[in-house]
Amino acid sequence: MRTYDNPVIGGFHPDPSVCRVGEDYYLVCSSFEYFPGVPLFHSRDLVHWRQIGNVLDRPGQLDLPDDTPASGGIYAPTLRHHDGRFYLITTDVRGKGTFLVTADRPEGPSSDPVLVDVPGIDPDLAWDEDGNCWCAVAGVTVARIDPATGKVLEGPLPIWSGTGLQHPEAPHLYRVGDWWYLMIAEGGTAHGHSVSIARARSPRGPYEPAPTNPILSHRSTDLPIQSTGHADLVTAPDGTWWMVLLGTRPRGWFPGFHVLGRETFLTPVEWVDGWPRVGPVQEQHQAPSTWHPFQLPPVRDDFDAPTLAFSWISPRSRPDDSWSLTRRPGWLTLDARFGPAFFGRRQQHLDCRAAVRIDPGSGRAGLSVRMDEAHHYDIEVAGGVVSVVLRIGPVRERIAERAVEPGPLTLAVDISTADVGTRGPDTLTFSVEAPEGAVELAELDGRYLSTQVAGGFTGRVIGMYVTEGEAAFDWFDYQEALR
């Protein structure tokens, strides 16, 4: 029996939404304060996913102001395919509000945003048999809209707000047979997270709740996957049903710490007496009948390509004058003349290693493990000295230093869950390559780079930065560390 491992998309990839077109699946996630926004993935079997773009990849679509807070920005997109076009609807919580974009091809380019005047977040799109487009939002209300203009034609109408738990959100409408099903998340996105469902004969309601609600929750269990919720349903070509959802993998001493943010998990769904039934989300499940693995692109980037890889993200914006792939061919050059520059990728494995070859020149630059501006660990080089610097809330401290020769050098961080005992979830060890080999400079407790300490909705991002002058990076290498 072939099985797959959860999560199917590791690291900070929350609020998954999925649609199928023929034998192809496409999935998007929330991106919050990072640019480009809304990572887009493709799969042929729901298990193996390759990032093929970012839906909001130009400033005209996503213009996050400098005062956008950590975990602000883009919330909970929904991706749908209707009449040959792809539709993505989402909310910029500090900017333009709810909007949608469309594209002829999944990888885009997608259109300029069309504003949709509905209050709330977590918008959904569904079409009825008459071609009417319905938009549901957290709360839960539904409105009939014109997707071409964003105009509200009817509503918003209150329909069903769950079983009484806090934060009814993440609504998705589905037409299955003669019924309309409304699936929501409730209980908050922490340990109380859950999935509930109701049905009606019309999108307008009235809705009848499932007798077994919530249909999924891991709250008050000792299961290794927690905070299960914010789900979306999809059917496979063989008629089987599947659910993608977010979850976390807390580790360490009470209350447990999760550091990768909320990740994307996959679980099978059965229909019993007209209702979907979902078992506990396990670390391993029997795989879908279609098994279509593919070779993922290397996670090492030598910056030889003419464009950046899709996985690179930056807080809020990426001004053209802050980076270059041509100023020094084969290197990524970052420039801090107009403010600090950071290019990172999500940490996707509990145990991993990231290393970078850097020529700092006369600048100040390095490698950072980041939750937000107030929670990050850095190893940086400036003025012939390599330093390890930690930032935890209002505290910023330089805890280790070593003199180095001028010119390029290699900085690294090793993240391990081994032998943490009753400490935090993992240990971060920072090192620099010296003539005698790798020299460890500091070993830090990972709990301070966790959601439980930093708060918010994101996870760790590991990347290169420059805060003074200009620096060049020859390569960046990220690898899972097998235990």
Q: Write the DSSP string, 43-67.
A: ESSSSS-EEEEEEE-STTT----TT
Q: What is the 3-state secondary structure (H, E, C) of 166-199?
A: CCCEEEEEEEECCEEEEEEEECCCCCCCEEEEEE
- Residues with Cβ within 8 Å of 19's Cβ and at least 6 positions away in sequence, in order, are 25, 26, 79, 80, 81, 86, 234
Burial code of 337-347, b = ≥16 C-beta within 10 A, e = fewer?
Answer: eeeebbbbbbb
Contacts of residue 26, Cβ cutoff 8 Å, sequence gap at least 6: 18, 19, 20, 40, 41, 42, 79, 81, 86, 106
DSSP-derived secondary structure letter, 320:
G
Q: Cα separation of 371 and 43, whole Å?
A: 28
Say how far apart CA 315 and CA 373 lie, in whole Å: 10
Q: Rounded CA gap, 114 and 126, in Å?
A: 17
> How far apart are alpha carbons 231 and 244 in whole angstroms?
6
Q: What is the rounded distance in angstroms from the CA atom of residue 261 to the CA atom of residue 456?
A: 9
Task: Give the CA distances from residue 21 to residues 103, 266, 342, 379, in Å, rounded to whole numbers and listed in that order.
Answer: 14, 18, 36, 45
Considering the candidates 57, 122, 169, 445, report the single residue annotated as catalytic: 169
> Catalytic site residue 169?
yes
Rounded-to-integer distance, Cα 37 and Cα 429, Å: 30
DSSP character for 111?
Answer: P
CA distance 182 to 199: 6
15 is catalytic: yes
d(CA 345, CA 114): 29
- Name the residues annotated as catalytic: 15, 169
